[in-house]
Amino acid sequence: MANYKLTNKAVQDLTNIWDYTFDKWSEDQADKYYNLLLDTCRDIANNPKLGKNYEGVRPDLFGLKTNRHIVFYRKLDDSIVEITRILHDRMDLKNRISE
């Protein structure tokens, strides 16, 4: 089983997503969506080929869409994946990734 690590930006993205979902719907829904996103991170770590290359955003960047968010990641080596950002699909991805 491969591992993944979250960048500080990805942790902040998750926090913001949870807060927004809590405010808009409920704590239960926020927890469910948060866990779905973490499940996606685990899936990516176990099979980094799941996502597509976002070379138009950054050459070494891959992403996997989960509902309305894209989990962006980089393969650091054969045993670890870095979750770079988790962004809504309507955001200006190129600018948000480079923040």
49-98: per-residue pLDDT in tens? Answer: 999 999 988 889 999 999 999 999 999 988 899 999 999 988 777 777 77
The DSSP-derived string for 56-92 is: TT-TT-EEEEETTEEEEEEEEETTEEEEEEEEETTS-
CA-nearest of 32, 84, 28, 39 to 58 is 84
Instruction: Report DSSP state, residue 49.
Output: G
- Here the CATH number for the domain that contains residue 19 is 3.30.2310.20
Instruction: Say how many domains are in the chain.
Output: 1
pTM of the model as a whole: 0.92
Encoded amino acid at 76, one letter: L
Residue span of the structural domain in which 36 resides? 3-97
Closest CA to 5 of 98, 95, 75, 91: 75
